[in-house]
Structure 1
Amino acid sequence: MSKLGRKLFWRMAAMLAVVFIVSALINTYFLPKYLLYEKKTALAELADIVAYSGPTELKRREQELERQYGATIVSAELQTNLDELNDRLLRLLNADGVSLSRFWLAEEGLDQLLQNKPVYRLYSQTKLNTSFLVTFLRADDRIVVIGSPVAHSSQSLHAVNSFNAWIAAGGMLCALGLAWLIARGIVRPLEKLSRSAESIARLDFQKTDVRTGDEIELLADSINGMSDKLKEAHGALEERNIRLQGFISDISHEFKTPIALIKAYASGIRDGLDDGTYLDVIDRKADEMSGLVDRLLLLAKLQHEPYRIMAFSFRELLDEALEPYRAAAEQVGIRFNVEAQPTSHPTVMGDRDKIAVVLDNFISNTLKYSAGPDVRIGLIDEGEHLHFTIRNALGSWNNQDPDLLWQPYYVLESSRNRALSGTGLGLSIVKTILEKHGAPHGVQVEDGEIRFDFSLPYDRG
């Protein structure tokens, strides 16, 4: 038997033992007293009825009262000769079917009757294994005897307790079988859940089919849900690690190339080969490494520093963000087309400097990846919010999930050519800023175009 089965058995056995012991104690020490109390109460009630009934009415109702209360009622003339009185009462009881070996009204009892006080006596009939409970009453010049037999319960109670002991022993056997069945029904699904948990610990995300219709099934559903979420999180973590490894490789290359050039040009200067441009090359490469480090630090900084939310003109900020890129856009044949809906709210709420970083990243991405001459920028009035969109033609798309673009270390192309691809940090910076603002944002790829968008609330002050 399993540990749970043994635990259930011993608990059931202890419960049965306690019930049996308490029952035996009650039967032995309290039941006889209770039975005698019940008899005394019934006789007291009958005595009250007899005391308030006249001789004629008592004679008429005598048999009815005897049947109702299970008692014997006899009466005789009250006399002071105790021997004759006791003998007369004993013959009357014998005539009524009550044979007593011990029955005697003493002098003290007779005195109480003469004073109109009731007398109560219990006569033990040892051979008959009973007692006879009697109430003596005086009714005018007569003595009324009301009696009821009280069985000695010791032998009966012993038989009852013995029978209960056998019942308890049988109950123990039933408890053993019941505990085994209950434990079996509980342990089996728990063993399945245990194996499932061990599999999850080994990163083998399995599901357990448990149908018990109780809390164990709810637990199994919870573990299955946890397994699904852990599997999803583990897959996302592995994918993130792969991208991180690629990012580290790219960053290593980005640093390695300028470092190698700086070292080579420094050696050329030392060997006297400088034609006047070596220091410029070293300075430019150092600036590239510094810019890369700055973006890495910016991503970490944006996740923790406080944002200053204030009202500003979004259209004015957009024009400022576009201005530095117009010359570069003309050189590659790209036009920025801004379509702005009229709005009665010229300002929006946000951190102006951080939103400037967002616009700068979106605009610079269009110059890197646009496959067409037009970059369309839209400003849409949505009542409570200003909705910004920027879209451009896309040269190729391998049906990846567009939301991957928001994740760190993810670049649209695998090429390390800085003219074509970034480090995968720009859109991560954008996402961090927009999430800090609580601004809805998204990316969609459809009909050969890629579109980024976000919304900011209007200033209602």
Structure 2
Amino acid sequence: MLAEQSQGNLLIVDDNVANISVLFDFLTLYGFDIKVAEDGVEALRIMEDTELAVEQKPELILLDILMNNMNGFETCRRLKMNPETKDIPVIFMTSLADTDSKIKGFELGAVDYVTKPFSQDEVLARIRTHLTLRRLRKKLERQNEELDAFSRTVAHDLKNPLGALTGLTDDLLENDPSNLNERQLKNIDYIRQSTKKMSDIVSALLLLAGVSKTKVTLTPLAMGEIVEQVKERLKLNIEKTQAELFLPEIWPVAYGYAPWVEEVWTNYLSNAIKYGGMPPKLYLGAKLETHYVRFWVRDNGEGLSEASKSRLFTPFTRLNRSIERKQEGTGLGLSIVRAIVEKLGGQVGVESEEGQGSLFYFTLPVP
């Protein structure tokens, strides 16, 4: 059944007039608005035309490979390098049927590869499939942006009342609490602890949202200085638990963003202090590999089961620990670690056996 309204905007790039004519007539019949370019240079000009209205921009490109002036591979490469056009689906339509050409096309970012001579119905089906996928992805991106904006707004709006609650409870407990009975004091202390926990969750959510949206420049890290700053942040916990930290004499140089890497170490070390032995003994280390540096902290705690390891780095996950060592947290710490490290081009992980302690690691790129 032919369409009565526009099914989308397509760009056909081919230097063979006969091929263009066949595709143009067929796809126009099915309701597509078609633009035509006879080589890669003209295709790039059309795609980069700033005067073209948004609703007229091609949503998908049918691209030949063997063309004069600029071949299809080079055209695709340049399209994928441009932030404005890199997400436009490219379907190669060519007489090159060898495996190497197909692999190269996909490596350059094409979503599909059709060899000539082609079936018109097959081409139509592939176009519709990739247009549908693109539109669904764009819709999901918009919904994610709306959800992200909503969560950040809510988090910011919660900051002030939570701060006020903390100040009021501190004032009640510090200024002449003799007028309060034991039950009232207990309730106020519970309110203070709950308010602090909510404030920690809000701060964690804001950090998590910030990581996903913020663009940072990677620079060489002075890892020794970063770890010392983390030790200062955790000074009270270290002294309270009598934790011992063992650090390497030299840290390999990796690339990253220092404020975020400080958050990674803070999460790893605070968890190691919570769940390490009594007292905790924490061994920090680093190893230079070919393309990255692997950093880690190893504790002397009770270790993790396979089931527990599979749930790590998931938002709002808190693992079951022994009653004596049960600790409360936001359940966001390790998910923040993963978001940060992956944004910086690295990976996170854990090595652990029950009764043998745990080793949490992350990697960062080298120069």
Pick the TM interval, shorter chain.
0.3 to 0.5
Higher helix residue share? 1
Task: Find the structure with the greater CA-based Rg.
Answer: 1
